[in-house]
């Protein structure tokens, strides 16, 4: 075992992300242990440090629930590639998967409008945004997305149009956030997770996140990131 258990963190992080990318699921206990020199206990310690650093989200049983853009359970989106089927963490994450996974440059993103229940299936690839009138609604500002990240992801959804957003907000009592058309959503997703499957990945600093959002056409107080993104 290494003298510093924290040095296993990157190996465990890569094991988690690569299992999701290749198989559409989190790694099992043997895979995690193998990434931590054969010790599941060391792997679990690494998972907790990674969760604190906001590289992933654990449930109460220490299972990985989210490793953005991948999810271990349904949060409203399925993402079907030629070889792999994923749960997408949210609208943002679902559009990001084909940009991140080299072997799957095109996917079918399926969901239902929360406002009216209409099913939607969109082909998302790297060449350009899909056509359509659908919009994504982001209710939680960037600076607060990690306050309750499961709630944030579960509510970043695709709607038929802004009228369906308004109907859903009236039904749920939630406040209106930021509404993105498909072009803006695709721009937001295409490079956000670049490098996440590679060794040495670092999360963006707040000023870098704000600059990235601006390049996607997203500015103003809602997209003023802090360490929370």
The full set of domain ranges for the chain reads 5-66, 71-223
Say whether 71-223 and 5-66 share the same fold. no
CATH class of 71-223: alpha beta
Q: Do the Cβ atoms of 39 and 31 come closer than 8 Å?
A: no
Beta carbons of 19 and 25 less than 8 angstroms apart: yes
Model-level pTM? 0.94
Along the 229 residues of the chain, how does pLDDT read in single tens digits?
444 566 799 999 999 999 999 999 999 999 999 999 999 999 999 999 999 999 999 999 999 999 999 999 999 999 999 999 999 999 999 999 999 999 999 999 999 999 999 999 999 999 999 999 999 999 999 999 999 999 999 999 999 999 999 999 999 999 999 999 999 999 999 999 999 999 999 999 999 999 999 999 999 999 997 655 6
Is residue 180 left, alpha or beta, with left meaning phi > 0 and alpha meaning psi from -120 to 50? beta
* Whole-angstrom distance, CA of residue 40 vs CA of residue 27: 12
Q: How far apart are CA 11 and CA 29, in angstroms?
A: 14
Radius of gyration for the alpha carbons in the chain, expressed in angstroms and rounded: 18
Beta bridge partner(s), residue 58: 64
Distance CA 210, CA 102 (A): 26
* CATH fold group of domain 5-66: Arc Repressor Mutant, subunit A (1.10.10)
């Amino acid at each position: 075992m290494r003298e510093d258990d924290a040095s296993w963190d990157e190996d465990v992080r890569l094991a988690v992300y690569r299992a999701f990318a290749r198989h559409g699921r989190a790694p099992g206990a043997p895979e995690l242990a193998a990434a931590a020199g054969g010790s599941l206990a060391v792997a679990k310690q690494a998972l907790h440090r990674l969760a604190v650093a906001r590289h992933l989200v654990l449930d109460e049983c220490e299972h990985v629930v989210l490793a953005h853009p991948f999810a271990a359970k349904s949060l409203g989106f399925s993402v079907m590639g030629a070889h792999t089927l994923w749960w997408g963490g949210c609208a943002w994450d679902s559009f990001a998967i084909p940009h991140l996974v080299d072997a799957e440059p095109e996917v079918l993103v399926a969901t239902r409008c929360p406002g009216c229940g209409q099913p939607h299936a969109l082909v998302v690839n790297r060449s350009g945004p899909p056509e359509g009138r659908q919009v994504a609604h982001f209710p939680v500002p960037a600076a607060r997305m990690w306050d309750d990240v499961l709630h944030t992801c579960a509510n970043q959804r695709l709607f038929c149009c802004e009228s369906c957003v308004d109907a859903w907000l009236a039904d749920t009592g939630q406040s209106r956030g930021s509404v993105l058309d498909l072009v803006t959503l695709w721009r937001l997703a295409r490079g956000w997770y670049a490098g996440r499957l590679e060794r040495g990945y670092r999360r963006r600093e707040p000023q870098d996140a704000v600059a990235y959002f601006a390049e996607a056409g997203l500015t103003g107080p809602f997209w003023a990131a802090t360490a929370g993104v």
